[in-house]
Structure 1
Amino acid sequence: MAGNATQVAVLTWRSLLIMSREWKYYWLRLILYVFLALCIGTVFSGLGHSLFSVMRRVAAIFVFVSFTSLLGVAGVPSQLKEIKIYTYEESNQHSGAFVFLLGQLFASIPFLFLISISSSLVFYFLIGLRDEFSLLMYFVLNFFACLLVNEGLLLLVASICQNIFWSILSFVSIHVIMMLSAGFFRIRSALPRPAWMYPISYIAFHTYSIQGLLENEYIGTSFAVGQVRTISGYEALGNVYDISDDSNSKWKNLLVLFVMAVAYKVVIFILLKCCIRKNHSVHKLFRCNQNRKDYK
């Protein structure tokens, strides 16, 4: 156990040094994320806090979560590089899959948190979300968990494809499908139940992130309708997005995001143990089958 702990510490420190020196790992992504948050924030700025702003604010949050997650495609080359390093070290018995995943996770956390807090601050104040510190911290945590899940998905896709073209194509395609089923274009409860609602909308991390952020923003609020009547924030979102009126629901969504991040790591661990060490990939299998057809 002590040997594994030492290996994790060494790999974490080495990865931290590489990630901090190589601008393509996270520094470029930090600039892109902040720039995208600035663009989205300025487009949706000045929304106000009336009942009529609800739909536009939902759109802003959906665009922020979806587009920033999609921007994670910029990390494909670095993830492929990490997999190559792991394959080389594993073949020489320098480190195993568990040590590799833990080292990479611990090294990436500071950069992901820096991206999440900087992007969240820019977006949060530009579109004028509720000015409470606890709500802001939840927004940052939610987006941080979203980035963790996205990194897991990115590494999973890169591990399967092991090719930059197929990795980018697969990652973008998966994100588009998740965005379609996230409940913005059509309310989640109204999605066709085969495939789109079950299981895609439950697999899409966008669903839990957006739902948690909307619950964070609107649960406990009210809007005036006319002179004497008010409706709750939950009722205001009734025809726009499916959320729960439970005040603890946003924390459940946050928990789901962290569980999904762990689940992706478990799947990647199994994949690394079973396939990567044998130098197998979907892309290579496809290429092999194609060569056989050409030969025939």
Structure 2
Amino acid sequence: MQETVESSRARRKRAAEAIDILTHAYQSPAYSEKTMNRIAEMKGIGGAPFRKREQASFSTKLFVLTRRSFINMHRDIGYYWMRFGVYLGMGICIGTVFYQLGNTYSSIQSRCEVIMYMIILVTFMAVGGFPSFVEDVKVFRRERLSGHYGVAEFVISNTLSATPYLTVISLIPGAALYYLTGLTKGADRLAYFVINLCMCTFLVESMMMIIAVIVPDFLMGIIVGAGVQGLMMLNSGFYRLPKDLPKPVWKYPFYYISFHKYAVQGSYKNEFIGQTFPGDQFIEKNVTISGLQVLQEKLQVEMGYSKWVDIAILCGMIVVYRVVFFAIVKIAEKARAKQRGMRCKW
């Protein structure tokens, strides 16, 4: 016991001697002058020159995120490949059921049914990628907290990486259906039909992005997304003609904010403009009706603008939905920060 006490005293003595040596060395003119000069420099620059952590540029972040998202979409069979198989199979089925519609009076209604069914199919099936996107949002939130990248990079990279897949799943099934059913021939008309399907899918995915932030649960999100689409389909002008829709609520504003309205009417214009059909032989024989008459009188399509304006409106709605997603994420981040601050005060 006595040896332990003596050993402890010896260590304390050596430590005191070391402290004295360091103190005398610091007080020497050489070290003291250097220290005072360094303090003066730091005062001049407003503090110690800490090295800031460097971050990648916006373009580098965008490239890396786009590449990673593209690879994830390729590997995840439920993101796009499963939908591609369903789209292609259903496109062939629709094409065989409505095989070569011809140019009769009854084909007018059949053409409308083909167009509407395909638009409904691609939009409703678009909710199938919701679970995969929710996982992407969860990863984004974790990486966002670490400060790796912002909301803008995430939104733009997701848009860029999804574009090739959306083009493929719209082009091949759309082309198969188009030629099997015998819709109006022409490369420009086929291109419009495919672009329209692609815009519809893009728009629904943008809508599901908003739902993923508000309702992160897989099942609830799919139910909410399907319900919103059902409401929009009801006011598209197909099941109930525009003039027959009740004006309060259903026509103003739901009819005009339904993206199905612009998708369907644009496809109608693409299909019927420049066409002629024989009239109803049971009513009046040897009479022909033009595609313009079909659009204005039978389908009540708004003819004050071209079909490309309908596409432009769909593009504008996509941008609006993505901006809304951006705004919701930003607002949610600020709300969570304020909530944490209030908890700390309590």
Would you call these one fold, judging by a TM-score over 0.5? yes
2:195 is equivalent to residue 141 of structure 1: yes
2:101 is equivalent to residue 47 of structure 1: yes
Matched residue type, 1:223? F
Give the TM-score taking structure 2 as reference length: 0.76
The aligned runs of 1:83-102 (5 Å cut-off) are 83-102=137-156
Structure 1 or 2, whichever has the larger Rg, is 2
Cα deviation, residue 241, structure 1? 2.1
Cα deviation, residue 38, structure 1? 2.1
Q: Indicate the residue corresponding to 2:45 in structure 1.
A: none
**Secondary structure in structure 2 of the residue aligned to 1:86:** helix
Deviates more, 1:22-31 or 1:42-51: 42-51
The aligned runs of 1:209-220 (5 Å cut-off) are 209-220=263-274
Q: Could you tell me the percent identity over the aligned residues?
A: 33
Give the TM-score taking structure 1 as reference length: 0.89
Deviates more, 1:139-148 or 1:41-50: 41-50
Distance in 1, matches of 2:63 and 2:248, equals 46
Cα deviation, residue 47, structure 1? 2.0
Deviates more, 1:222-231 or 1:55-64: 222-231
Distance in 1, matches of 2:121 and 2:333, equals 30
Q: Name structure 1 gaps, 5 residues minimum.
A: 281-296
The aligned runs of 1:141-180 (5 Å cut-off) are 141-180=195-234
Distance in 2, matches of 1:166 and 1:150, equals 16
Are the equivalent residues in 1 in contact too, given 2:127–2:204 (CA < 8 A)? no
Distance in 2, matches of 1:15 and 1:249, equals 36
CA pair 211-74 structure 1, distance change in 2 beyond 3 A: same
The aligned runs of 1:118-137 (5 Å cut-off) are 118-137=172-191
2:174 is equivalent to residue 116 of structure 1: no
**Secondary structure in structure 2 of the residue aligned to 1:231:** strand
CA RMSD in angstroms comes to 2.0
Distance in 1, matches of 2:255 and 2:97, equals 27
Deviations 1:12-46 (A, max 9, x none): 01111111122121111111221222222222223
Distance in 1, matches of 2:173 and 2:153, equals 30
Aligned with 2:294 (options 204, 227, 236): 236
Distance in 1, matches of 2:334 and 2:141, equals 6
Deviations 1:55-89 (A, max 9, x none): 12101111110122101121111110111011111
Cα deviation, residue 138, structure 1? 1.0
2:318 is equivalent to residue 264 of structure 1: no
**Secondary structure in structure 2 of the residue aligned to 1:275:** helix
Tell me the matched-pair count: 279
Are the equivalent residues in 2 in contact too, given 1:87–1:277 (CA < 8 A)? no
Q: Name structure 2 gaps, 5 residues minimum.
A: 1-54, 338-346
Higher relative contact order (CA 8 A, sep 6+): 1
Deviations 1:222-274 (A, max 9, x none): 2233665322112124454222445x510110100100111100000001111
Q: Indicate the residue corresponding to 1:82 in structure 2.
A: 136
After TM superposition, what 4+ stretches of structure 1 lie above 6 angstroms from structure 2?
A: none
CA pair 2-87 structure 1, distance change in 2 beyond 3 A: closer
Cα deviation, residue 191, structure 1? 0.7
